[in-house]
């Protein structure tokens, strides 16, 4: 049997995509909408407080296109924390004016494909910063799930560790060439959701998503072994922008 890649896991991740029921929102009276917004702001503040003490992180973005209206991306220490957070939000008045468009459950992951050095990696502050990241508040977000192929001669899992490591090293060089332009967070979802990984990109220039993903298409890891789900792209939402989006 081929050698499996070793992984380090950090915070659990939930991408919670929602659409607004505009008919219901417009039918509500001013008092109902004001109460719903007050609850929404309370939750945004609560999530910000969690981030301040570094017990997790949350990023909120609108979604461009018809797949959803907005997304909450949450990082928390445990699945129980994510479950409690999700259930608490679902009980709010504001949540009653939303429908669930899509969700993705995963965990922040680092693999040993590009590992170097010895010792306990979790004793390294840089490693821990990658396993428990504070989500960037860049202008734009791009999220997509992906798999590695398991098809006849194009079966990633039948390659040797040396071959996979060499391919990932080449693949990683492309990503590193976008350092300072794109922040990438990889979350593993094997056994947790329908795909194997989730890729979340953050940037202050949305065109960098197109350039990065397109360039990676020519790398063998993507061109031969990559399978991709739907892409979601959006704009940063702070409390003020969220309220403006909901204003009638």
Q: Is residue 18 part of a domain?
A: yes
Residue 198 sits in a domain whose CATH number is 3.30.70.1030
- The domain tally of the chain equals 1
Band the pLDDT of 138: cuts 50, 70, 90.
very high
Mean per-residue pLDDT for 4-29? 96
State mean pLDDT over 229-246: 96
Model pLDDT for residues 152-178, shown as the tens digit of each residue: 889 999 999 999 999 999 899 999 999
Instruction: Report how far apart, in Å, the C-alpha atoms of 91 and of each of 10, 32, 39, 97 are.
Output: 28, 15, 10, 11
Which range of residues forms the domain containing residue 214? Answer: 7-246
pLDDT of residue 2: 82
Alpha helix segments (H runs only) across the chain: 22-27, 30-52, 79-90, 125-131, 161-176, 207-217, 220-225, 239-246
- For residues 43-50, average pLDDT: 96
Confidence of residue 142 (pLDDT cuts 50, 70, 90): very high
**Is-contact 68 21, C-beta < 8 A?**
no
Q: Hey, is 137 helix, strand or coil?
A: coil
* Catalytic residue numbers, as ranges: 144
Please state whether the predicted TM-score (pTM) of the whole model is above 0.85.
yes
What pLDDT shows up at residue 137?
Answer: 96
Residue 174 lies in a domain: yes
- The more confident residue out of 125 and 119 is 125
pLDDT digits (tens, 9 = 90+) for 106-115: 999 998 775 5
Q: What angle do CA 61, 64, 69 make, to 5 degrees?
A: 60
- The reply to whether 211 falls in a domain is yes
Q: Looking at the domain assignment, is residue 1 inside a domain? A: no
Q: What is the separation of C-alpha 156 from the centre of its chain, rounded to a whole number of angstroms?
A: 23
Q: Is residue 123 part of a domain?
A: yes
Considering the domain boundaries, does residue 218 fall inside one?
yes
Q: What was the pLDDT predicted at 114?
A: 59
What pLDDT sits at residue 118? 64
Residue 84 lies in a domain: yes
Q: Does 32 fall in a domain?
A: yes
- Mean pLDDT rounded to a whole number for the chain: 95
């Amino acid at each position: 049997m081929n050698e499996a890649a070793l992984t380090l896991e950090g915070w659990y991740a939930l991408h919670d995509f929602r659409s607004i029921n505009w008919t219901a929102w417009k039918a509500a009276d001013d008092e109902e909408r004001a109460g719903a917004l007050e609850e929404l702001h309370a939750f945004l503040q609560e999530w910000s407080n969690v981030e301040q003490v570094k017990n997790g992180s949350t990023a909120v973005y609108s979604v461009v296109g018809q797949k959803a209206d907005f997304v909450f991306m949450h990082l928390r220490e445990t699945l129980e924390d994510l479950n409690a957070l999700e259930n608490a939000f679902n009980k709010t008045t504001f949540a009653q004016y939303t429908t669930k468009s899509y969700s993705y459950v995963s965990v922040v992951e680092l693999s040993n494909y590009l590992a170097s050095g010895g010792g306990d990696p979790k004793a390294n502050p840089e490693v821990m910063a990658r396993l428990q990241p504070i989500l960037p508040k860049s202008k734009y977000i791009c999220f997509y799930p992906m798999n590695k192929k398991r098809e006849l001669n194009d079966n990633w899992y039948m390659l040797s560790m040396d071959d996979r490591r060499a391919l990932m090293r080449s693949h990683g060089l492309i990503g590193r060439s976008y350092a300072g332009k794109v922040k990438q967070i990889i979350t593993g979802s094997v056994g947790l959701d329908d795909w194997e990984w989730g890729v979340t990109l953050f940037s202050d220039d949305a065109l960098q998503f197109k350039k990065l993903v397109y360039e990676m298409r020519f790398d063998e890891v993507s061109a031969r072994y990559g399978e991709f789900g739907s892409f979601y792209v959006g704009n940063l939402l702070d409390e003020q922008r969220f309220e403006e989006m909901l204003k009638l």
